[in-house]
Structure 1
Amino acid sequence: MPITATAVRLSTASSTFEADFKARLHWSAAADAAIEQRVADILLDVQHRGDAAVLEYTQRFDALNAVTLAELELTQAELKAAFEAIPAVQREALQAAAARVRSYHEAQKKACGESWSYVDADGTLLGQKVTPLDRVGIYVPGGKAAYPSSVLMNAIPAHVAGVGEIIMVVPTPKGEKNALVLAAAYVAGVTRAFTVGGAQAVAALAYGTQTIPKVDKITGPGNAYVAAAKRRVFGTVGIDMIAGPSEILVLADGSTPPDWVAMDLFSQAEHDELAQSILLCPDLAYIELVQQSINRLLPDMPRREIIAKSLNGRGALIHTRDMDEACAISNAIAPEHLEVSSRDPQRWEPLLKHAGAIFLGAYTSESLGDYCAGPNHVLPTSGTARFSSPLGVYDFQKRSSLIEVSEAGAQTLGLIAAELAYGEGLQAHARAAELRLATVPPMRMNP
């Protein structure tokens, strides 16, 4: 029986559109109680037993037998050897992608990741000191789901930010090491790498063990166990985000070849059965052409079963009144990936407020952003683009305020601070400011 994919057809003109579309968008991020308990146990065990616990779980879950955790560390020589062993075309692709990602994040650092200060009229210096984190951990999926692009997108901005050490963890079930992942680690400048994964790897990074050093922040995607572990260790360390299923929303005016749009919808649907692919378009005939392209192209896709389940379960082809309405709906969704497949994408871009990444024009496929365009592909999902941003250099930095008050400034600021401090009943605060005044007034009692 042939596999088919028929994304639900909706129209904003329908009286039931809002309810129908809300049902389609629904995705529950509710935690699985069994997973949460198992992860909590693993985290506590690693926190108490360190290397021994990590070794035990690695043997149990990944069938890797090692006497010491040092045996599971990948040396720089191994990373370099993996890079040199892959085909030349892959080496060149990795280096080209890395160069573009590095160039983008260097520009990002210059624009929003530098220290700054100014001196006001009374000689007081005010500013912000930007410093990199000392050590970060990056989690990279392993086994069959191996993503060298994730190595580049997590390690390179950390490197550009000036992070001193970048510790990579990657599961290698039954010892199956992905050469491209190792090569990417070499190209991206990973400091140390360990072949451990799952909640135990997150725990090792968060708490530190006898062999794996404690980090300041953990970034990178993973399965439900990894996500649950990251959520639980937040506060002990920083994390990037808790990602939901991948999403793409295409705003189309009908001018792009329908095969291109169909394949762009596939590009996210093939990630996961829960991934979501949505088309918004005011041209009903064009929507029909895209559906025909889906029907024709799907049988040739190696991951057609996953694509079909994704499109059948969560996909949508939506007929809108016009492109303005399509932009408004997009803002309400706040998608992870937003393609503006239009003759004049610059016309619509100013109307778009909420998206993880915006891809302008028919030639800008989302897949280019995943690998080599330059901007980071770690993006907010599930509507969190309303208040979150892509992973960037700023995620690997912290900011400290700089204040150097001049003698003249203390005379003005001291009066202001003392008045407010007395109002709050904090006499020591007030007195600390008043003692620096040229004429020190008597201390006031509580009002």
Structure 2
Amino acid sequence: MSQSLRLGVAGLGTVGASVVRMVARRAGAIAAATGREVRVTAVSSRDKTRDRGLDLTGVTWFDDPVALASSGEVDCVVELIGGSEGPAKATVEAAIAAGKHVVTANKALLAHHGAALAKAAEAKGVTLAYEASVAGGIPVIKALREGLTGNAVSRVYGIMNGTCNYILTRMEREGLTFKACLKDAQALGYAEADPTFDVEGFDTAHKLAILVSLAFGVEIDAEGVSVEGISAIQPLDLTMAEELGYRIKLLGVAQVAEGGIEQRVHPTMVPKSSAIAQVMGVTNAVTIDADAVGELTLIGPGAGGEATASAVVADIADIAAGVARPTFGRPTASLAPSERVAMQRHEGGYYIRLTVHDRPGVAAGVATRMAERDISIESILQRRSESAASKDPHGRSGQPVPLVLITYAATEGTIRAALDAIAADGLLAEAPQLIRIERE
């Protein structure tokens, strides 16, 4: 058997501790599969006194993760600190500079600095592996980089944030508000005290940017992702989606479009019959559309200590076995520039909820403004308060009521222009709700 692979684990939170346990628990199986013993020889974390339930006998402790990365006691650095800057970035840079392999779960670091880090790793002849950075325990990185090499990918989309999926699931099933569900998610540990990164879509955007590079052979462009979160979703939107045969999910979507690659994160209506619509709770799912295999959907746990550690250990095993692949599927020099496609050019169906004054001619005025821009309406639904309407002999209360439109394919720019015209006509009682429809 070859000389053992010595691991230095930087960050002993939930995932880091799970990695240490898994490497010990699966030591025999890993050695049998790779032909090389793998063992943790060094660790680093902020609090040395904390009881993590780990046996660190014979393991060197480093207060400074950069010192761990530079140490002669490790061959491979496992970075589980998190964050796009600071200690995480410095640790990975130090490890690569010292000629050590790196395994990370850090999607923010890769989204913002992946190209530079991959180029540095190539120059040093070391591996930068990151299966755990997207969708936790789902092996989507390996699927895109290795399993689908013979395919031309046209679209990648999915549920990549368990917090958002949990909130939307609870809102749909129990009729709760976003704020109520978020509070429960925080109490259960699914959401951070400051949930902005998750619920406003930035976490999903980082993951999508990584998948785009792998799927389409382009440079990572996190700033090119159009991002909207779920905080504006109301229970009525989920009720209306149910009536119309849809379910609302926060999706990250990337697809080939005229002039480049669309990259977008937003609440999306998906047909209830689709595989991704069945994914509930904190579960993640990623669908890949490719020419040879058609539609491939991977579903599984997107977070959690054991699930994420599973992906980390898979990367470690590849390094131990000597399996080496270019970081983003091809040498960095051959990655094409990422050509941004403006969101205004996106074309698709839309769910539009307008809060209008319940009076004669309003629906006709809305339809007119849509028709002026050649926007075809597939269906229109209006809800009125029966108690308020009963006070008016013509059945009109004059009070704000929801008017829901489903459109056929139209461009984002055209839809926005029509909504601006409707607002200018004084027909709206509040800002419109706009949700894109992703059909199968």
Normalised by the length of structure 1, the TM-score is 0.26
Normalised by the length of structure 2, the TM-score is 0.27
State the structure with bigger RCO (CA 8 A, min sep 6), 1 or 2.
1
The structure that has the greater radius of gyration is 1
Structure having the larger proportion of residues in helix: 1
